[in-house]
């Protein structure tokens, strides 16, 4: 039974702990239903393909915090070099790649080589040592705790069903509000 995008993120929400979670594109709307704390950052509007970079910067600046970036397969393809950068700059970062084989929010067009791209193999080839791939929700539920046990760098590929008829989601609040909330939460954590 294929995993749905929502199921994939539900399991992630159960295991994210106190990590900061950055979502992009199709994950933004789903994640907002699961968690809406100051440590949930909907990267929208974004720079195409650059959520892993933003997450790496946060993880380098806040090494005690831990960061999870939830990226799409299309976004990942836009900047595959980011996998090399993650491997070369050890930081408490987990990159979750939601692989549905399509550009969901633009009408479901297939991504290049959809179904043939092996993101886990690419991540390993880029030098990331902790790489996981799950194709069913049962596998993901069974493996999530172990996959998220270490600070990172870690890459987790979740193969999910594509959803047709999606539109670009709206972030739960404006970017200035998100940044203010995030900064406040990070400064409070530093004061703890």
Partner 1 sequence: MFDGPSVAAAFRAAGITHVLWVPDSQLGRWDSALRSDPQLRLVRVCREGEAIAVAGGLLLGGARPIVLMQCTGLFEAGDALRNIVHDLRLPLFLVVDVRSWRAYTLGKTTDTCPLFTEPIMRAWQIPYVLFEPDRHTPADLAEEYRRAWAERRAGAVLLPE
Using only the alpha carbons of the chain, give its radius of gyration.
Answer: 15
**Residues in the site for partner 1, rule: CB under 8 A?**
45-62, 79, 81-82, 84-85, 88-89, 175-176, 179, 182-183, 186-187, 190
Distances in whole angstroms, Cα of residue 70 to Cα of each of 144, 184, 187, 190, 192: 14, 22, 23, 24, 27
Decide whether 81 or 115 has the Cβ nearer to partner 1.
81
Q: At which residue do the structure tokens 């972030």 appear?
A: 171
Q: Cβ of residue 40: shortest distance to partner 1, in angstroms?
A: 14
53/143 with CB nearer partner 1: 53
Q: Among residues 18 and 190, whose Cβ is nearest to partner 1?
A: 190
CB of 53 to partner 1, least distance (A): 3
Q: How far is it, in rounded angstroms, from Cα 190 to Cα 146?
A: 27
C-alpha–C-alpha distance, residues 122 and 119, integer Å: 5
State the nearest-atom distance from the C-beta of 138 to partner 1, in Å: 34
CB of 78 to partner 1, least distance (A): 10
Beta strand 67-72 pairing with 40-42: unpaired
Smaller CB separation from partner 1, 162 or 171: 171
Exposure string for 87-122, b = 16+ CB within 10 A, e = fewer:
beeebbbbbbbbbbbbbbbeeeeebeebeebebbeb
Q: What is the nearest approach in angstroms of partner 1 to the Cβ of residue 34?
A: 22
* Least CB distance to partner 1 at residue 118 (A): 20
- Between 170 and 190, name the residue whose CB sits nearer to partner 1: 190
Specify whether the CB–CB gap between 52 and 95 falls below 8 A. Answer: yes
* Nearest to partner 1 of 32, 189 (CB atom): 189
Asked if residues 27 and 156 have their Cβ atoms less than 8 Å apart, the reply is no
């Amino acid at each position: 039974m294929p995993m749905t995008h929502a199921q994939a993120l539900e399991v992630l929400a159960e295991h994210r702990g106190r990590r900061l979670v950055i979502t992009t594109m199709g994950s933004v709307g789903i994640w907002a239903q699961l968690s809406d704390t100051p440590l949930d950052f909907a990267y929208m509007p974004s720079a195409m393909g650059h959520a892993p970079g933003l997450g790496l910067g946060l993880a380098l600046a806040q090494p005690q915090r831990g960061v999870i970036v939830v990226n799409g397969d299309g976004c990942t393809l836009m900047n595959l070099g980011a996998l090399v950068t993650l491997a070369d700059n050890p930081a408490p970062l987990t990159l979750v790649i939601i692989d549905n084989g399509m550009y969901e929010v633009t009408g479901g067009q297939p991504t290049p080589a959809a179904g043939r791209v092996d993101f886990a193999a690419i991540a390993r080839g880029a030098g990331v040592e902790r790489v996981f791939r799950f194709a069913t929700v049962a596998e993901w539920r069974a493996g999530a705790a172990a996959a998220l046990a270490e600070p990172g760098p870690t890459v987790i590929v979740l193969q999910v069903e594509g959803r047709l008829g999606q539109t670009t989601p709206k972030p739960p609040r404006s970017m200035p509000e998100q940044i203010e909330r995030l900064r406040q939460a990070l400064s409070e954590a530093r004061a703890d």
